[in-house]
Copies of this chain bind each other. A is one copy, B any other.
Amino acid sequence: MSYFQTPAIAYEGPKSKNPFSFKYYNPKEIVMGKTMAEQCRFAMSYWHTLTYMGNDPFGAATMYRPWDQTADVMEKAFHRVHAAFELMEKLQIPFFCFHDADIAPRAATLKETNERLDLVVDVMEEEMERTGIRCLWGTTNAFGDDRFVHGAGTSCNADVFAYAAAQIKKAMELTRQLGGANYVFWGGREGYETLLNTDTAFELDNLARLLWMAVDYAREIDFRGQLLIEPKPKEPTKHQYDFDAAAVLAFLRKYDLLEHFKLNIEANHATLAQHTFQHELNLCRINGVLGSVDANQGDPMLGWDTDQFPTNLYDTTLAMYEILLDGGFTKGGLNFDAKVRRGSFEEEDLFLAYIAGMDTFARGLKVAAALLTDGVLEDFKKERYQSYNIGIGRQIVEGRVGLRELEAYALEHGSGKNRSGRQEMLEMLLNQYIIETA
């Protein structure tokens, strides 16, 4: 059975007028020593692709998918698996990401839910074997059910904490079974609605307790995937504890968890926290915690998570720049945590949206690689900080001077001459690379 009439998408090059083709994503093309496919490690998000029906807070579903045309919830779940793999094959997407709740419907009891999960995961394994498609990461949904109304690991209700722990255990086992390269924690309800009723100190301690349990259990079952935390500042909660990369780093350091976790950076979460996507990736890179990426984009004029497919060349170029500076992905990848617009409700839009996202990142990869290969930015920076390679600068870096010595130096030398930072020139250079990179 086929779920999509759209044929498989192939690379046709930048001049193609066929919307159903890749213009920039040429999977086998070598860029900085790896194929594009290896550099990008694209992943399909199960939730936005298979289960998002176009609902928004003010409106009902607009999308009617062939895999949903059955009343039997398990049958629907199996259809979704097959539809997912057909889509990935046709789009040449080598990875997928999932929450437990995406793949199998909740049942009345945890036990039954887990049984359902097992049934579906078996089918997923078959499809993975058939297609060679792999799991980038799995996670549990510990935010959607009403039980998590006051949080999961930070719930004021200890039974809810226990339930979340049980879900994590199962989801980690499933991720391990599917060979997932990472396991993600996104704490959608780990935060507060109002400080009037919240003991933040206690809740954060509990969150750390839960993460330590997960670390211990991963070790116990020999799960070798990377554990990842995904920051988001707010939505659905008023304030989420994992506000941004800095907040997560502060937390991980406080609770001695830094060696066990990396971060999963989402573009739209970055901008909701008033950071650029590049900023968050950069902060992770320089702290050695750049794990994986949720590749989407928000609208800078809108204050909620729009999860749009990424089509901004600046964002993808500068993101790939940081990723390449970090040595490229090892376990991580580019997961399209993105949904087609509510008005893009036709089957074709799923393809067109993934093409847009993949092409925009592929172009970003090439531009970033050209910038790095030519060294235009890195050479500029080297020159800019050169005063720290010699004289007083070198002494500062080597820790051989203190305030007293520096005062003596300043009294004698003043503060020297500054040079322009050349922001406008560099921005135009970036434009030229975006347009002209071959």
Contacts and interface: CB of A to CB of B under 8 A. Distances in A.
A360 interface: yes
Interface stretch (A35-43, A85-93, A175-183, A349-357): A349-357
Contacts of A147: 415-416, 418
Contacts of A156: 384-385, 387
A62 B146 contact: yes
A274 to B, nearest CB: 5
Nearest to A56: B236
Nearest to A358: B428
Given A57-B305, A159-B415, 18 more contacts: A14-B435, A23-B428, A58-B235, A59-B145, A149-B343, A158-B391, A161-B396, A162-B392, A162-B396, A166-B411, A170-B407, A206-B388, A209-B399, A239-B275, A246-B247, A254-B287, A345-B418, A356-B424
A301 B276 contact: yes
Nearest to A380: B197
Contacts of A1: none
Interface stretch (A118-126, A187-195, A259-267): A187-195
A260 B79 CA distance: 54
Contacts of A421: 150, 193-194, 197, 341, 343-344
30 contacts: A57-B236, A58-B189, A59-B144, A149-B342, A157-B418, A158-B393, A158-B416, A159-B393, A159-B413, A160-B415, A162-B396, A163-B406, A169-B404, A169-B406, A194-B421, A195-B276, A195-B282, A196-B426, A196-B430, A206-B396, A217-B402, A239-B279, A239-B301, A247-B247, A254-B287, A300-B301, A304-B304, A341-B421, A352-B428, A357-B424
A349 B217 CA distance: 40
A107 interface: no
A409 interface: yes
Contacts of A160: 415-416, 418
A309 interface: yes
Contacts of A436: 14-15
Interface string A3-27: 0000000000011000100010000
A197 B381 contact: yes
Interface string A391-425: 11110110101111011011101111111111111
A73 interface: no
A254 B249 contact: yes
A61 B238 contact: no
A216 interface: yes
B170 A422 contact: no
A340 interface: yes
Interface in A103-159: 109-111, 143-150, 155-159
